[in-house]
Amino acid sequence: MKVIIDFLVVSNIFFFFYLVTYASYLMISNVYGSIKMYGYRKLERLHNELNHSFYFPISIIVPAYNENVTAVQTVDNLLKLDYKTFEIVVVDDGSTDNTKQLLIDEYGLELAPHTLIRYQVPCKPIQEVYKGKCRNIPIVLISKENGRCKADANNAAINVVSYPYFVCMDADEVLQRDALTYASRAMLESDNVIGVGGNIKISNNVRFKDAMPTSAALPKNISVGMQVLEYSRAFVGSRIFQDLTNSNLIISGGYGLFKKSAVVAVGGYDQKSLGEDMELTVKLHEYYRRNKLPYAMKYVPDSVCWTQVPASLGDLRRQRERWHCGLMQTFAKYRKMILNPRYGVIGMLTMPFMMVYELFCSFFMLLGLFVIIASTYLHVIGTPYVLFVFLIYVLLGTMMTITTFIDKLYMKNDYFSTGDVVKGLGISILDAFFFRPYLFTIEFFAFFRYKKITKSWVSPKRVQVNTESMSL
């Protein structure tokens, strides 16, 4: 019995510091993010406006599988981008609906049989390429054999694009009108920059006019509201903080700007990965550090892309299962980097931290819950201590929510009301007692469902975004 009690005492101490360490990291990163956002706004006021003198051409890749609901609207919004030189490349990945024909008819695209295709990265065969222009902006439509994953569609586009830099996004998104201007500025700061991650925000319940948000109140759907807070914490706090040491492990597949030559050098996107965006980011880190090549991957919070998130718990479960399996795959594939000083901060700090607080977090939380219950039953700890731990957990979550709204004060084109703050605080409490445990449960069972989770690319249910003006 003494051994069990000693184990429970040590476990309680470990679990307490486990929670406090993670919450402290999130809190520090969010506060740092707020300070940086304030600094960005001061710097912008000092310079008054961005320098528009220098541009480089960018190809925007939009993979599409059965996207007839949103494909035309997505291209229409891209045509409104405030950027001088870019092309739009839509990849119809063997759709069984009329996505391809809709795009051909809408933009008057014509078959281009003599298009140069250089298979620099692997992909399923490209069958046809259509080309056209709208508002003097080139539009390319690639029709290919279904590759059963987004990675294959991305690779097909890389083999066709005309420009040395490309953006990868999803077919249900709104790329904010000034997004490329901010992202390209980060590329222009140094020749060593090979990738730029942008800020992903949630478009559910947001209204747009000419690819800019006009209202962005917290949605009535509680599940979506929780995801809004989750994304704000991740894309403003953690990403800005990790940018300090060039150690961001993911440039989101929802929106990222890359140097094409760098991506080709590492073999493009991995078609076998369920998390192709993280896999590519880690692969670039591994390649450049292993070969001792100078490089940087930046995060730019003012470069914004708006995306739809699952509105139902069932769709959310399927999304997070795939995300967690992708995380497992990436850590298994690049396990040699973990605690390897050759890979610097990424190997010694970032990956071990992600492994403990992301990959295996559900196991630690389940163990912690078991320890608390057993300790209470055996009177190792008292009820006041249990309540104290949970109170700290809830208070830290609430403080992070408040920090999220402070961040919004310094975000360009972000909107919220007093009602949103009150709703956000209420959601943060639900987040602690429902949303986070729900996600932990999904992640825990993902380990055991790994082989059953399909690798086929099935798009979730799409809806058109609320757009006030679609005029071109």
Q: Which helix (H) or strand (E) holds 111?
A: strand 110-111
319 pLDDT higher than 80: yes
Q: Can you tell me the distance from the alpha carbon of 255 to that of 268, in angstroms, rounded to the nearest whole number?
A: 16
164 pLDDT higher than 60: yes
446 in a domain, yes or no?
A: no
Q: Can you tell me the distance from the alpha carbon of 138 to that of 75, in angstroms, rounded to the nearest whole number?
A: 11
Which DSSP state fits 11? Answer: H
66 in a domain, yes or no?
A: yes
List, in sequence order, every beta strand (DSSP E) within 203-333.
207-209, 212-215, 255-259, 296-307
Name the pairing type of β-strands 193-202 and 296-307: parallel
Which DSSP state fits 219? Answer: P
Long-range contacts of 281-286 (CB under 8 A, 24+ apart): 281/195, 281/248, 281/249, 281/250, 281/251, 282/249, 282/330, 282/334, 282/337, 283/334, 284/194, 284/195, 285/249, 285/337, 285/343, 285/346, 286/334, 286/337, 286/343
Q: Can you tell me the distance from the alpha carbon of 417 to that of 410, in angstroms, rounded to the nearest whole number?
A: 14
40: tokens are 């960005």
Asked whether 360 and 22 are in contact (CB, 8 A), the reply is no
Side chain identity at 360, as an amino acid letter?
F
Q: What is the CATH number of the domain that holds 242?
A: 3.90.550.10
| Alpha helix stretches (DSSP H) within 159-208 | 179-188
- Which of 121, 138, 122, 140 is closest to 130 using CA atoms? 140
201 in a domain, yes or no?
A: yes
Cβ neighbors of 259 (< 8 A, separation 6 or more) are 164, 165, 187, 193, 194, 195
The tally of domains found in the chain comes to 1
pLDDT on residue 408: 59
Cα-Cα-Cα-Cα dihedral sign, residues 211, 457, 147, 103? negative
- Among the residue ranges 76-90, 166-180, 234-248, 385-399, the one predicted with the least confidence is 385-399
Q: Structural domain of residue 113, as residue ranges?
A: 54-313
Start-to-end C-alpha separation, the chain: 75
Give the tens place of pLDDT for each residue, 454-469.
554 455 566 666 666 4
Cβ neighbors of 353 (< 8 A, separation 6 or more) are 25
Report the 10 Å Cβ neighbour count for 385: 15
Give the residues across from 305 on adjacent strands.
175, 200
198 in a domain, yes or no?
A: yes
pLDDT on residue 291: 96
C-alpha angle 57-59-65 in degrees, rounded to nearest 5: 170
pLDDT on residue 338: 97
pLDDT on residue 472: 39
- Which of 110, 107, 97 is closest to 73 using CA atoms? 107
Per cent of the chain over pLDDT 70 is 87
Dihedral in degrees, nearest 10, Cα atoms 155, 159, 162, 166: 20
470 pLDDT higher than 60: no
348 in a domain, yes or no?
A: no
Classify residue 341 as exposed, middle or buried by CB count within 10 Å of its CB (0-12, 13-18, 19+).
exposed
CA dist list (Å): 440 to 5, 23, 324: 27, 16, 10
341 in a domain, yes or no?
A: no
Q: Can you tell me the distance from the alpha carbon of 43 to that of 39, in angstroms, rounded to the nearest whole number?
A: 6
Quote the radius of gyration of the chain (alpha carbons, Å).
Answer: 23
Cβ neighbors of 262 (< 8 A, separation 6 or more) are 194, 195, 284, 288, 295
Asked whether 158 and 263 are in contact (CB, 8 A), the reply is yes
429 in a domain, yes or no?
A: no
Per cent of the chain over pLDDT 90 is 50
**Chain centre distance of CA 311:** 17
More confident residue, 424 or 279: 279
89 in a domain, yes or no?
A: yes
Give the tens place of pLDDT for each residue, 15-35.
778 877 887 787 777 777 767
Give the tens place of pLDDT for each residue, 86-117.
999 999 999 999 999 999 999 999 999 988 89
